[in-house]
């Protein structure tokens, strides 16, 4: 059978063989996707984009092993595929074939064969970083620590050619296979091999900091800046260690000294300027970002921070200049457009603000920009135009349709009728009937319109889909307690919500309100006090004050209400309860 297979494969490869006489040997394709799900794949690095290796001379044996390995891999016989591939690597002296054999062994979790193939891979391509890293990992798994140091040194040297920190590459390899103290000892041995290289001490400091061993990290970082005062990264890592230990003053002193030593180092200037923002020293931070802008030139990072700091200092014209520079550089344009819209809005230039908000197409401020855009259009009397804009956005971005429906619902709440809001929700849910976001939003709005039937229908559907949706459980329980006499049923829903979010102020408030409706006043006061201490907002204040008033503690109730009204004089919740109780 083997001879027959060999004849068939060789016959099939006649065209390939003739074509390859002046070509290259390429690694076979990967196994089928179903074969790559093995847990052994965790060691694998991404496929390298290597230059083709010129074949020394293609023989029938090389071709046979290549094709037989391919067939075995395609039918899922990875162990057999490994043997063919390894034999091909031995015969052809092709590093890519050795790499392929290594990866096949890793797929089947055979470290012994993986190490064998990786050794051949390193032999054939000693400058391959991935090969060296896998050798280290596989040797450490077999406790072969003696030869590991030579491979670690090679990784450092290879990284040097690529202008990378090889010590960090080494750290990544050893930290996932060894306990932290063992890995640190191995790293120290490696660092000792390169006494004049500050990056070794830097890696030791980073490794200790990652493990939150800050005293050890500080020792290494102090040693780094002492032995290598001309290497700027040492000061940066030392400042980060101080910050991790909440020693901000020392971090500031360290960075200020470092910036004076290295006035053109962008990382140091940026770190120092950001720390000054934390110290609320905005003018000094602004100066540092101006310096950074000169150093960075066209990078744009400093312009973003200059815009934010200028806004914080109330210098909107300066902020506008910096955000316009971002636009001209083509950097962070969505963010810049959002802030330029805010600047125009603050100046009561609605048309200008609308134009900028329309340019926000993505990013972290996209949702707020769209909400502000349609609000400005509606305030200007163009509610229909705002709706048309949102509809276009839904068509252009169907993945964001729910978000745009919710923005439109909020718009209609302020500038439309209840019938229009409910009609919009009906349309949205007709298109996306299983959207928990839409169901939850419609349920809340229905509750505000005393449509308990719709609230209950929507929240139950959400809960059926997601039994751990604490907010839906809470909304249903609170509404049943507040608008019906189904208080015991309400209590069960709120209990479930509180079990999921025991520290949630709104849910604690709901529990207090349900207990009040059940006549369990002292328990209600306990929960409401706890909710109010976490979130002293008007609605919780209204509930707590009402229970205190009913139970006789009217002075405390009035104090709570008056304190809230001093902050928010038009608080509907507090004013309504005071009117209802005739206060």
* DSSP states of 208-276: HHHTT-HHHHHHHHHHHHHH-TT-THHHHHHHHHHHHTT-HHHHHHHHHHHHHH-TT-HHHHHHHHHHH
Q: What is the mean pLDDT of residues 142-155?
A: 74
Give the separation between CA 91 and CA 170, rounded to whole angstroms.
Answer: 31
**pLDDT score recorded for residue 176:** 60
Which range among 134-138, 239-243, 442-446 shows the weakest confidence by mean pLDDT? 134-138
pLDDT band of residue 145 (cuts 50, 70, 90) is low
Tell whether the model's pLDDT for residue 8 goes beyond 70: no
> At 563, phi and psi to the nearest 5?
-60, -40
**pLDDT score recorded for residue 181:** 63
Measured in residues, the chain has a length of: 583
For 389, the token pair is 């804009």
Share of the chain above pLDDT 70, in %: 88
Tell whether the model's pLDDT for residue 92 goes beyond 60: yes
Q: What is the mean pLDDT of residues 203-218?
A: 87
> At 124, phi and psi to the nearest 5?
-85, -25
Average model confidence (pLDDT) across the chain: 85
**pLDDT score recorded for residue 297:** 77
Cα–Cα distances in Å, from 533 out to 77, 527, 553?
64, 10, 18
Give Dmax (Cα) for the chain: 102
Give the separation between CA 99 and CA 58, rounded to whole angstroms.
Answer: 19
Give the separation between CA 212 and CA 207, rounded to whole angstroms.
Answer: 9
Alpha helices in 433-553 (DSSP H): 436-448, 452-465, 470-483, 487-500, 505-517, 521-534, 538-550
Q: What is the mean pLDDT of residues 496-519?
A: 97
- How many other C-beta atoms can be found within 10 angstroms of the C-beta atom of residue 181? 10
pTM score over 0.75: no
Tell whether the model's pLDDT for residue 464 goes beyond 70: yes
The alpha carbon of residue 21 and the mean position of all alpha carbons in its chain are separated, in whole angstroms, by 50
Give the separation between CA 320 and CA 330, rounded to whole angstroms.
Answer: 15
Q: What is the mean pLDDT of residues 417-434?
A: 95
Query: pLDDT per residue over 335-363, tens digit each?
Result: 999 999 999 999 999 999 999 999 998 88
Cα–Cα distances in Å, from 346 out to 286, 361, 371?
22, 21, 16
Domains recognised in the chain with CATH numbers: 332-433 (1.25.40)
């Amino acid at each position: 059978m083997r001879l027959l297979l060999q004849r068939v494969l060789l016959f099939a490869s006649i065209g390939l063989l003739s074509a390859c006489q002046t070509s290259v040997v390429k690694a076979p394709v990967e196994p089928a996707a179903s074969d790559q799900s093995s847990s052994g794949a965790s060691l694998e690095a991404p496929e390298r984009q290597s230059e083709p290796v010129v074949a020394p001379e293609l023989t029938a044996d090389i071709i046979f092993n290549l094709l037989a390995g391919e067939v075995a891999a395609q039918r899922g016989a990875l162990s057999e595929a490994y043997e063919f591939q390894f034999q091909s690597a031995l015969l052809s002296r092709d590093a890519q074939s050795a790499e392929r054999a290594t990866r096949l062994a890793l797929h089947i979790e055979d470290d012994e064969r993986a190490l064998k193939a990786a050794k051949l891979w390193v032999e054939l391509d000693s400058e391959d970083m991935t090969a060296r890293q896998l050798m280290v990992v596989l040797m450490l798994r077999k406790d072969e620590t003696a030869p590991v140091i030579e491979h670690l040194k090679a990784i450092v040297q290879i990284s040097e050619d690529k202008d990378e920190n090889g010590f960090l590459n080494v750290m990544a390899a050893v930290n996932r296979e060894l306990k932290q103290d063992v890995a640190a000892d191995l790293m120290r041995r490696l660092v000792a091999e390169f006494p004049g290289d500050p990056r070794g001490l830097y890696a030791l400091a980073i490794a200790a900091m990652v493990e939150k061993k800050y005293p050890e990290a500080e020792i290494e970082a102090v040693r780094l800046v002492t032995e290598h005062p001309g290497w700027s990264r040492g000061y940066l890592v030392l400042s980060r260690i101080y910050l991790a230990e909440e020693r901000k003053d020392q971090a500031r002193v360290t960075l200020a000294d470092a910036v004076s030593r290295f006035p053109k180092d962008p990382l140091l200037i940026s770190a120092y300027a950001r720390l000054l923002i934390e110290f609320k020293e905005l003018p000094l931070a602004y100066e540092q970002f101006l310096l950074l802008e000169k150093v960075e030139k066209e990078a744009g990072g400093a312009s973003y921070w200059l815009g934010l700091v200028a806004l914080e200092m109330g210098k909107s014209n300066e902020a506008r200049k910096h955000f316009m520079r971002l636009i001209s550089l083509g950097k962070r344009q969505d963010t810049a457009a959002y802030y330029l819209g805010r600047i125009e809005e603050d100046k009561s230039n609605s048309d200008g603000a609308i134009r900028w908000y329309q340019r926000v197409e993505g990013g972290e401020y996209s949702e707020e920009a769209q909400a502000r855009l349609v609000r400005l259009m509606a305030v200007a009397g163009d509610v229909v135009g705002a709706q048309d804009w949102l509809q276009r956005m839904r068509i252009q971005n169907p993945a964001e349709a729910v978000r745009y429906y919710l923005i439109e619902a909020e718009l209609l709440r302020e500038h439309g009728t209840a019938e229009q809001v409910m009609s919009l929700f009906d349309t949205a849910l007709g298109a996306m009937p299983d959207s928990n976001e839409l169901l939850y939003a419609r349920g809340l709005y229905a509750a505000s319109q005393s449509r308990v039937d719709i609230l209950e229908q929507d929240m139950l559907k959400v809960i059926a889909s997601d039994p751990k949706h604490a907010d839906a459980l809470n909304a249903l329980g609170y509404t049943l307690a507040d608008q019906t006499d189904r208080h015991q049923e309400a209590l069960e829903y709120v209990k479930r919500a509180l079990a999921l979010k025991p520290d949630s102020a709104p849910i604690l408030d709901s529990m207090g309100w349900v207990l009040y409706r059940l006549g369990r006043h002292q328990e209600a006061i306990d929960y409401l006090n706890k909710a109010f201490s976490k979130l002293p907002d008007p609605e919780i204040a209204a509930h707590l004050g009402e229970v205190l008033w009913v139970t006789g503690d009217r002075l405390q109730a009035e104090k709570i209400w008056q304190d809230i009204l001093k902050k928010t004089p038009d608080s509907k919740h507090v004013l309504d309860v005071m009117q209802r109780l005739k206060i």
